[in-house]
Amino acid sequence: MIIVTGGAGFIGSALVWRLNQLGRDDIIIVDQFAKDEKYKNLIPLKFMDVFDKDEFGIMINEGFLEKNKFDVLYHLGACSSTTQLDTGYLLRNNYEYTKFLCEKSVKKNIRFIYASSAATYGNGSNGYDDNEDTLESLRPLNGYGYSKYLFDVWAKKNGYLKEIAGLKYFNVYGPNEYHKEDMRSVVNKAFYQIKETGKARLFKSYSDKYGDGEQKRDFIYVKDAVDMTIFFADNPLLCGIYNVATGKANTFNSFIKPIFKALGIKENIEYFEMPEILQGKYQDFTQANIKKLLNAGYKKEITKISDAVTDYISGYLNTDNPYLH
């Protein structure tokens, strides 16, 4: 069987969707449910059972992993808000809980694949290479990135990176992210802005290096991200840190222009002031080095950004069924 934490969330539910396509429904979903509607991501999916995150921790301590046979634990659950200021909560939820699951999984010979983040790279001054030797040199810009960084370093110091796989997801976008509110992708926000007002809004640039909307990110479609994730379950000897990205940076302007084309609307972009809480903590440029992933044997073609955005808009957002189905 398979365990997916964060299985009702964005990447987690997309992963379950892909596993269903591959004929797997022997899946246990774990998540933290609150006053949101991410449960809707689960409606079209096939799985065995679903548990609350805290309840699942108790179940593990009471021998749940010993009583059942599990092949893989995909640990994708976390608080992913880059504006979360409660560091204590981030440490408990993102760091301590990940340590707990890692130790239990390795002890029971369960393949442990966890979500790290591109947020660990900070402003990119030390590059975007998924090299474990330089982990300690990274300087995250926010509490979320720091919580992910802490586990990466802990796993290295305690020898776990020789047994597990940590995936540094870059800017993932696609179906099933609607519940993420302010953490939704720019393309998701822009779609609804364009539908409502005829224009999209992007942050002004605060850097001399980039014009407005010309800041660059390594945007990756969620369908590609989950294919890369499953690759590590299919290849259990691959351990360590790996970037999950396209390896190509695109501007925010080029990211949202296909939305106008898909909707048949003239391009109209408005640039506005960045919230003060983000100033000085905003990544103007990210571009992953994915040579390590490719050298490990990943061969599936990565979807071009224009094709991916068009698929997202035409196949999901601009339909009566916005969920992966």
pLDDT 10s digits, 132-143: 999 999 999 888
Provide the percentage of residues in the chain whose pLDDT is more than 90: 80
Residue 300 falls in the annotated catalytic set:
no
End-to-end C-alpha distance for the chain, whole angstroms: 22
Domain boundary assignment for the chain: 2-173+219-247+287-302, 178-216+249-283+311-317
pLDDT band at 35 (very low <50, low <70, confident <90, very high): confident
Q: Read off the tokens for 196.
A: 């409502």
Sheet harboring 72-75: ordered strands across? 49-52, 27-31, 2-5, 72-75, 111-117, 165-169, 240-244
> Which CATH number applies to 178-216+249-283+311-317?
3.90.25
Query: Taking the model in full, what pTM does it have?
Result: 0.94
User: What are the tens digits of pLDDT across the range 199-240?
Assistant: 999 999 888 889 999 999 999 999 999 999 999 999 999 999
Identify the active-site residue in 40, 99, 180, 199.
Answer: 180
Instruction: Assess whether pLDDT exceeds 80 at residue 277.
Output: no
Identity of the residue numbered 112: F
Is 206 marked active-site?
A: no
Share of the chain above pLDDT 70, in %: 98
Planar angle of CA 9, 198, 305, nearest 5 degrees: 50
Among 144, 160, 316, 323, the active-site one is: 144
Q: What is the pLDDT of residue 281?
A: 66
Residue range 43-48: mean pLDDT, rounded:
97
Q: 17-53 burial string, b = 16+ CB within 10 Å, else e?
A: bbbbeeebeebbbbbbeeeeebeebbeebebeebbee
Region 2-173+219-247+287-302: CATH code: 3.40.50.720
